[in-house]
Structure 1
C-alpha cells in the first residue's frame, strides 16, 4: 500500500459522513472503511476484515481451536498448534506496520484472542491439577479484569484515538516499558505462555505433579510397560476412554504417558520468573487503570457541582 493511498484514505475517512454518522466511527486506526461504504470522491475502498493482519488473526483463532480439540489426549500436537498460534501474535503486528494496516478491529481481535486462548489453557490446567484450581481461576480473572480495565480506561480517559499501548512514563514506568518496547513485550508474553504450556506437558509426564501416572493396574501386560522414568501406563484409563486400546487416540495417550518430563521442567523453571513478573504487571495495570478512571470521576463530579454542600443544621 503506497503512502499516497494512505494519506488520501486518511483525509477521506476524517471528513463528515453523508448519513450523519459520527466522525469517530469512520476514523479507525488505519483510516479505512469497510467495503460497501460508498465514498463521495470516488476514492478507494477497503474491507477491514480482509486486511493481512486480520487474516493472520483469524489463522491464530483456527490454530487455537484446533489445539483445544487435541488438548485432552494429544499433548504434542496441542502444544505445537498452540505455540504456533501464539507466535503468530508477533507476525500480525509486523504485518500491520509493514502494510500500514493498523486498525482498531485488529487490535481488539488480537487482545481478545490472547485472553481467550490463555483462559482456555488455564481451564484445562484447573482440571489437570484440581488442588490448584483456585490459583488458575484467579489468574484467569486477573488477566481478563486487568486488560479490560486498561482498555476501557484508555478509551474513556485518553480518547478514542489513543492506543492502549501508548502508556506515558509519568503514569507507570513498568507499563510504559512493557507496551512500548517490542522486545520486552514479546519475551514477557512468550515466556508467560511457555510456562503454562510446560505445566500442561508436565500433567502428562511428571508423576510428581500427576500422581495418577503411577497408579497400578491389574493388567499384567500393562504393568510391564514401564515409562522411561518409572511411571506406569494407566491401561484402565485407556479402557474407560477407548473401546480399542490400539486406536490412534489410545496410542497417543500411551505415548504421552511415556513423555520425558526433563525438558518441560527446564521450560517451566526458565519461564516461571517471567510469568511471575507478567502477573505483577497485570496487577499494576489493574491498579493504574482503576486510579485513572477514579481521577476522571472526580473531575466529572466537580464539573457537575458534586458533592453538593448541605446547609448546617439541615437534616437528611
Structure 2
C-alpha cells in the first residue's frame, strides 16, 4: 500500500470520528484512541434525601436507647421522632423521585431493630413476661424477613416487598398499598410499646418495685425500668446532680397518659401482630410454591427422577 493510499485511509477515518487521528510521518497510528462516549451525571445513592432522613432516624434511635434505662421522657421523645420520620422519607422519595432499594431496606431494618431493642428493654423491665416480648421480636423479624425473601424470589431483585397482588392476599395488598393504613398500624403498634415502656416507670400495679419501701427498711434492688429503688441519695453524691433530678422526675411520672396510650393502641397492635402471622404463613406458602415449580422444571429436564 502506497504512502498516499495510507493518507487517504487515515483522512477517511478522521472524518468519521470527527477528530483527526494522530499520525507519524504521514501514517496513522493503528492504536489511535477512540472518541469517549459522554455519560450522564453520577448520582450518589447514599446522599439521596430519603436516605439522609433514614440516617437521622438511626441516630435518634441510638440516642433513645442511651436514655432508655433512666430517662423515660427524653427516650420517648427521641424514639417517637424517629418513628414519625418513617413517613417523611417515603414522601421525599416520591417528591424527588429517589425511591431506591437501599432506602427501602434501610427503612425496614431500622424499624425492625428499634422495635426489637424496645422489646428487649421491656423484657428486662418485666422478666415474668419476657417470653411474650421475645415471641413478638421473633414474629416481627421472621415475618418480614420471609416476606421480603419471598417477594424477591417471585419478582426478582427489583421487586418491592410492598407489591403484593390482591389475588394472593387482599389483606397484605390493602396493608401495603394504602399509605394511610400502613402508617396508622405502624404508629399505633409503636405507641403501644411506648405506653408499656412509660408504665414501667409510673404504674405500681404493673411494677410493684415502684412502691417506696416503708420507713426504716432496706430498699429493694433497682431493676431496669423500675428506678425507684434504691433512693437517689444512695446513688448520687449530690442530690441536685442531673442524674438525681432526672431520677426524681422519673419517679413522679403520672400513669394516666401511659394507660390511655396503651389501652387505645392495644387493639390495633393486636391486629398488626395478626397481620404479621398472615404475612409469615403467606410467605412460607409462596416459597413452597417456588420450590415445587423448580422441582417440576428439574423433573421435566430430567434432573429429577
Q: Shorter-normalised TM-score: what interval?
A: 0.7 to 0.9
The structure number with the bigger radius of gyration is 2
- Of 202, 207, 210, which aligns to 1:205? 202
One of 135, 138, 143 as aligned partner of 2:135: 138
Quote how far apart the aligned CAs of 1:72 are: 0.5
- When the two structures are superposed, what TM-score results if normalisation uses the length of structure 2? 0.81
Displacement of 1:148 in angstroms is 0.4
Residue 256 of structure 1 corresponds to which residue in structure 2? 250
- How far has the Cα of 1:219 moved from its partner? 6.3
For residues 225-246 of structure 1, give each alpha carbon's deviation from its aligned partner in whole angstroms, at most 9, with x where no partner exists: xxxxxxx993524355434333
Q: Is the 8 A contact 2:101 2:158 kept in 1?
A: no
Runs of 5+ in structure 2 lacking a partner? 1-35, 220-225
Conserved? CA contact 2:120–2:133, under 8 Å:
yes
SS at match of 1:100: coil
Corresponding residue SS for 2:230: helix
Q: Which of the numbers 284, 288, 301 marks the counterpart of 1:290?
A: 284
Tell me which residue corresponds to 1:312: none
Deviation at 1:42, TM superposition (A): 2.1
Give the alignment partner of residue 156 of structure 2, picking from 143, 154, 159: 159
SS in 2 for 1:272: helix
Contact residue 163 and residue 176 of structure 2 kept, 8 A: yes
Matched residue count: 261
Aligned to 2:109: 112
Provide the rounded CA distance (Å) in 1 between the counterparts of 2:186 and 2:287.
26
Please state if 1:274 is matched with 2:271: no
RMSD: 2.1
1:252–1:297 distance in 2 versus 1, CA, 3 Å: same
**1:75 aligned onto 2:72:** yes
Distance 1:132 1:154, change over 3 A: same
- Aligned residue for 2:206, secondary structure, equals coil
Report whether the alignment pairs 1:300 with 2:297. no
Alpha-carbon distance in structure 1 between the residues aligned to 2:153 and 2:120: 31
**TM-score, length of structure 1 as denominator length:** 0.79
* Cα deviations by residue, 1:109-161 (Å, 9 ceiling, x for unpaired): 00000000000000000001111100000000000000000000111112222
- Which residue does 2:230 correspond to in 1? 236
Aligned residue in 2 for 1:247: 241
CA distance in 1, matches of 2:73, 2:144: 30
